[in-house]
Amino acid sequence: MSRIARDSFSSKFGVIAAAAGSAIGLGNIWKFPYITGVHGGAAFLFVYLGFILAIGLPIMLSELVIGRKSRRNSFGSFKKLVPKGLWKYVGVLGLGAAFFILSFYGVVAGWSVRYIFFAFTDAFKGSSAEITDFFNAFKTHPEKPLLYQLIFMLATGSVVVLGVNKGIEKVSKVLMPVLLILILILDVRAITLDGASEGLSFLFKPDFSKLSFEAILEALGHAFFSLSLGMGTLITYGSYINKKNDLVKTAIQVTVADTVVALLAGIAIIPAVFAFGLEPSAGPGLIFETLPNVFQTMAGGTFFSILFFLLLSIAALTSAISILEVVVAYFTEELKVKRKVATILATLLTTLLGVICSLSLGIYSDVTIFGKNFFELLEFISSNILLPLGGMLIALFIGWGLGKYKVFKEIAQGGKLDGRFLAIFMFLVKFLAPIAIFIVFLYGLGVFK
């Protein structure tokens, strides 16, 4: 595919909306609040923000540099920039991660879609134990979760098939403002609940005596993963960014947007949990088990539960679009498949793999590999192996493989950027980021547990 024929983003807002949509997903709305609750609140939050600045932002900028300089997909980028040697195989990690992640991501996203309908019918009734049983009965059902996974994946493919400008950018420019409005409405409701101040104190008043070594490593890992790093999405999106766009500003704006939404999600959830005397350390079940218990108790709970699960589904969709685009871009550019066929093929393959993930939570839960069901296995391989290895090698590629002059030329915007920033950036990607991500990698493998 020639550079002239290649699709691209048409506006700065389109770039920010799409890239922020890629970063803002289930990790922000679902995972961030519960891991903050598990690890003690504000102290964890402060460490997380530090890692976002020191590790997340440099790696995001690195991915955008690789994508825009090469004008290729996540696999083809490395092959084009450094044709000889082993660097060209780094893209395989991102491509594999995107494929695996979308498979199980679509399953969880399907749950959020189904919960919109549960909220409409006011289905959240009973004790905490009954609501937990309600969720477990749904996710382990052999057929019901598959229907909503299919609905979600069809919606994702329907956007991607339209292309970058007419599909991804156009939809992102609508969905991201809607997402922000929804989360602000939920925030206002949460902070006006009786007892919400205790939750806000938990979230923003740090007690560093509660900060464990495990919490620090979790903060480091989530700072990396929450920005959609290491899976090829930002390399792919970077390849669609106009040369006139300032990559540094873009990376900063996307990082700020992602972090703000994570904080707003925490504000929407943690105070409400405290207000009704529930535990913020509920873990992964916080969204689908604990929050429905909150909604059934609060005034206007049905309305706010609908808004929340709609918010969760939108966040999941904007991320899933970017992940699917990684696979589609590979098919179209490396395998020379037409976009429509590539999108259908990529959607079908990831959905089929997702079906196996979903069934492994229910009727095939007794089938395990290395002690994990199929859903857990794909999540482990993606999150604990492919993403950290990919992120670490991306940092090393920018720091040591591509060459300082090429990196500076892509970032500096004709020499307008302060040389001190470039020097700090190179130090971070050469030394600090690879070491930090390697620690995350070891932690994910259980070395420090």
Give CA 132 to chain center in angstroms.
Answer: 25
Query: What's the gap between Cα 165 and its chain centre?
Result: 21
Q: What are phi and psi of 418, to 5 degrees?
A: -60, 130
Q: CA dist 306 to 180, 289, 301, Å?
A: 15, 15, 9
Tokens found for residue 420: 């001190």
449 residues of the chain, pLDDT tens digit each: 334 457 889 888 999 999 988 888 877 887 888 888 888 889 999 999 999 999 999 999 999 999 999 999 999 999 999 888 888 889 999 999 999 999 999 999 999 999 999 999 888 888 888 888 999 999 999 999 999 999 999 999 999 999 999 999 999 999 999 999 999 999 999 999 988 999 999 999 988 887 888 888 888 888 877 888 888 999 999 999 988 888 999 999 999 999 999 899 889 988 988 888 877 766 567 788 888 888 888 888 899 999 999 999 999 999 999 999 999 999 999 999 999 999 999 999 999 999 999 999 999 999 999 999 999 999 999 988 999 999 999 999 999 989 888 898 888 865 666 678 888 999 999 999 999 999 889 988 888 76
The whole model's pTM is what?
0.93
Q: Which residues of 28-65 are buried (b: 16+ CB within 10 A; e: fewer)?
A: bbbbbbbbbbbbbbbbbbebbbebbebbbbbbbbbbbb
